Amino acid sequence: MPTFAAAVDFTEDALVVRLADGRVLAIPLAWFPRLFQATPAERNHWRWIGRGIGIHWPDLDEDIAIEDLILGRRSGESQESLRRWLAARTRTG
Task: Compute the distance between CA of residue 40 and CA of residue 48 in angstroms, rounded to an integer.
Answer: 18
73: which DSSP letter?
Answer: P
Task: Provide the whole-model pTM.
Answer: 0.92
Tell me the per-residue pLDDT of 37-56, one tens digit each, with 9 for 90 and over: 999 999 999 999 999 999 99
Q: Is the dihedral of CA 9, 13, 78, 86 positive or negative?
A: positive
Tell me the per-residue pLDDT of 66-79, one tens digit each, with 9 for 90 and over: 999 999 999 999 99
> Domain holding 40: CATH number?
3.30.2020.40
Domain of residue 38, residue span: 5-92
Region 29-39: mean pLDDT is 97
Count the domains in the chain: 1
